[in-house]
Amino acid sequence: MLSRSSHILRAGIISRASLFTARSVVGSSSVRTQIAIGYRAASTAPATATTTTAPATSTKAELDGENTASAPKQKRIRSRPRNQSSGFKSKYNGPILSIDEKKAIDAQYDKIYQALNENNLVDASKFFLESYKPEETFLFRNFKQLEGKERLHIKLFHKVLEAHKRNDKLEGVISVSDLYSKYLDGGITVGWMCSEAIIYEISKGRPEQGLELWVKFMESSNNVTNVQNHDNKEAAHSALAAYISSCLKENTEPTSKIALTLVPLKTIPDNTDITRLFRNCNVKLNNNTINKINQGFDTIRYESLDPSNVDFLDNLPIDQPLELENRYAECIKKSADSGVALSESTYARFIFCFAESNRFDRAFEIWKDLVSSGISPSVQSWNMLLKAAALSNKKQVTLIEALLKKMIDSGVKPNSDTYGILINSYFKAGLSDTAVEIYEKLGEENIPVNLYIFNIMLNGLLRSGQEEAARSLLKSGMDVGLSPDIISFNTFITTYIREKKYKEAEKIITLMNDVGVTPNVETYTNIIDTIYKVANKEQIDPHEQIEKIIKSMAEQGIRLSVPTITAIIDGIAKSGNGNSSNLQLYRLMQKKQLRPNIRTFTALINSEILAGDIDRATFFFDEMKQYNVIQATTNYNQLLRALTPRNLIQESMRLFRDLQHSKYASPNVYTYSFVLQCALNTNDMVSATEVLEDLARQPNDFRVGSSLLKILRKLSDRGLKVPIFKDQKQTPYAKKLAEEEV
C-alpha cells in the first residue's frame, strides 16, 4: 500500500487532502481509508518502488546471456523483449530465460489452458497461482497467440468471471479481484477487463473492492491522461459507478470534487451510457439500484457543470437528442442557481448541436433564448444559425439568404465561414454554378479563402460531377500555398472509390504522402475498402496488403483496436461494400485477439442488412453470445426491421419470443411496430394476437407513437382486440374503441 500511495502521489493523480476528504465521505471501512492511511505513511517515509531484479549473485554477463561457467552454452531469451510495445505498460523488463526455462514455463501455462478447456477452474486457479510471475507477464499474455487461439490471460479472465457471476462462493477458484489484481502487478492494463471486474464487484455489494482495482489500474497505467483514452473510458465510468455505490452503501452523498479526483474525467457520461454499461457487463443488478447510481451521476454531472467549459461543449451528445435536451436544461438551471448568465459560445454550440441532431425547431428556439438574454449575436453565433438553417433543408437557400440579409442589416459583417456555409448550401441545392460564382467573387470582396471554403468547394465540385474542376482547384490551391488537409484528400479518395477509379484513388494517396498529410481512420477505411473491392474484382487474397495497412496505421499512431475496426466496418458499410469485407474484418479481429463489443456487432449487423444479406446479419447477431455481448433491443430491432418488408413472419416471431425471454432486453415500441406490421403483411392474425397480448402487459404510460397507432387501428378493423394506453386516450380512434368496449 505504501508504494502504491507514494507512486500515485508522485504522479500527481490524487492529493492527500482529497483522499482524506474521500475517507469521510465513503466511510471508515472503505478502500479510501486504506489509501488515505497509505498517504499519511508516504508523507513521512521514503518511497520504495516495487520492482523485480535479478538475483544478487548474477553478473552483468549472465544477465546479457553470456556463458560464465563450464556448463554447455545455451541460448537465452528475454521474457519480454526490450523496447517492445506489447499493448500494455509494464514495470518489468523481465529476466533472461534459457530455451529450456521457457519450455518449462510454457508447460505450466499449457496445464492452465487444458484445465480451462475442461472447465476445471479449481485446477486452472491452482496452476495459475503456482506459475504466474509478474515479471513473466509477456510470456503469459502471448501464450497460444501464434496458434490463433484465444490468449490465455483473456480465456482465464472470461472463465473465472462468468463462473463467479453464476456462483460467488466457489471454493478453490481464484476471485475476480485477485485475478485482475495479479494481472495489474504484471502491467496488464486492459480497460474492458478493469470495467468488467469493477462492475462485478458492484453487483456483489463490494464497490470498495472495485475502487481498489481502479486505483491499482491507475497506478499500473502510470499516466492520468490514459483515463481519457477511448479504450479506458468504460473502466473510468465503472470506477465512478463504484464510488457512487460506495456512497450509497455508506448512506452518504457523492460529491463531484471527490468523484473527479478519483476518476479525472473531462466529461461525465450520460445515464443511458451507464445503463448500457451494466447491461453489457451482464450482471444481475435491479433497476432500483441502477436508477440510484444514475441519480448519483446526475449529482456529479450537475455539481461539476461549467456551461462555458470547452470540454463540456465539445462533448455534447449530438446523437442523443433527449440527453442533449437534458444538458441544456441543466445549463439553464445552473445559470439560474449561480446567477451567472450563459455565454454566447454556449448558446451557439447548443444551436449547432440541436441542428446536427435534426431538431431544427429547437435550434431556432435557442437562438431566441440567446437574443432575449441581451447578448448581441456575433458573427460566430450567426454562423451557427446559418448552419442550422442549412441542415434543416437541403434546398432551402431562400431561408439562408434571408438570414444572411438580416445578419448584415444588424451590422454584423460576414466572414469566410459565413460564405462557406452559403456556398455549401448552393451546392446541396444543386446550384453549383451559383456556388462557383460566389467563390470567384470572394477575392473582389477581400474575403480570404480558408481551408474550410477550399474543402467545401472541392467536396461540392466532386459531388456535382465536376471532377476536372476539382482537380484544377486542388492544383491551383497548392500553387498559391493553400495546402489541402485530410478532409480534402478524403473527399477525393471517397469519390474515386465510389466511381471505381481505384488507380486514381491510389494517386491521391501518393500525393497525400508527398505533401506530408497524415492519414486518419477515415482515410484508412477508404484504403481498406479499396483493397477489398480490388481483391474481389481480381480474385486475389487481400490479407498481405491488409497487414501492410495495419502496420502503416501503427506507424501513424492509429492502433488497431476494437473502436478502430468498428469505425472501419461502419465506414465501408456506408460505401456499399460492407458485405464483401465484414467477415474478413471479423476474422481479422479474432486473429488479433480483439474482443468485439456491442458497437462492433451493431455495425456488422447493419452493414449486412444494408447489403441485403439477412442470413449473414443473423450470423453476427448469434455470434454476440460467443463473446458474452448483450443482445440489446436495438439489435433485435435491426433484424426485425429487415424481416418485415420481406414478410418473414416465422423468423420475426422467433426473434420476438427470444426477446420476450431475454434477461437483459425487452420489446419496445419499434419491436411491436415491426412484428405487427409483418403479421399484417402476411395476414397472420394468430401471431398478431400473441404480440398484442404481450403489448397489453405494458404499463399504462407506455408511449405508442404514431406508427404503431396506425398499425393498431388496422388490426382493430380486422376484429382484433387492441390495448389502449395513456397517450392514445385523446385520439378519435381511442374514443371509438372505448365506446365499443362500453
The band of 732, judged by pLDDT with boundaries at 50, 70 and 90, is very low
Gap between the Cα atoms of 367 and 479, Å rounded: 41
- At residue 510, what is the residue type? T
Asked, for residue 309, whether it belongs to a domain, the answer is: yes
Average pLDDT over residues 326-340: 93
More confident residue, 317 or 534: 317
What per-residue confidence (pLDDT) applies to 395? 62
Q: What is the pLDDT of residues 292-302, one digit of tens each?
A: 999 999 999 99
Average pLDDT over residues 237-247: 95
Gap between the Cα atoms of 60 and 66, Å rounded: 9
Point out the domain boundary residue: 379, 397, 414: 414
Q: What is the pLDDT of residues 250-299, one digit of tens each?
A: 999 999 999 999 998 888 888 878 888 887 787 878 888 888 999 999 99
Average pLDDT over residues 653-661: 93
Asked, for residue 44, whether it belongs to a domain, the answer is: no
Asked, for residue 345, whether it belongs to a domain, the answer is: yes
Asked, for residue 718, whether it belongs to a domain, the answer is: yes
Asked, for residue 110, whether it belongs to a domain, the answer is: no
What per-residue confidence (pLDDT) applies to 52? 34
What per-residue confidence (pLDDT) applies to 96? 66
Percentage of the chain surpassing pLDDT 70?
Answer: 80
Gap between the Cα atoms of 498 and 493, Å rounded: 9
Point out the domain boundary residue: 382, 414, 446: 414
What per-residue confidence (pLDDT) applies to 517? 82
Asked, for residue 207, whether it belongs to a domain, the answer is: no
Pick from 383, 25, 454, 369: nearest CA to 207 = 25
CA angle 282, 284, 289 (to 5 degrees): 115
- At residue 611, what is the residue type? A
Q: Which domain holds residue 409?
A: 305-414
pLDDT at 90 over 50: no
Point out the domain boundary residue: 394, 414, 434: 414
Judged by average pLDDT, the poorest of 529-533, 632-636, 658-662 is 529-533
Asked, for residue 2, whether it belongs to a domain, the answer is: no
pLDDT at 201 over 90: yes
Judged by average pLDDT, the poorest of 323-337, 536-550, 715-729 is 536-550
**Which phi-psi region, left, alpha or beta, contains residue 92 (left: φ > 0; alpha: ψ -120 to 50)?**
beta
Residues 6+ apart with CB under 8 A from 41: 1, 2, 5
pLDDT at 75 over 50: no
Q: Per the confidence metrics, is the pTM higher than 0.75?
A: no
Q: What is the pLDDT of residues 486-532, one digit of tens each?
A: 888 888 887 887 777 878 887 888 888 787 888 887 788 777 777 77
Judged by average pLDDT, the poorest of 56-60, 445-449, 655-659, 697-701 is 56-60
- Please list the alpha-helical segments (H only) found in 281-396: 287-303, 310-314, 321-338, 344-356, 360-372, 379-392
Asked, for residue 330, whether it belongs to a domain, the answer is: yes
Domain count for the chain: 2
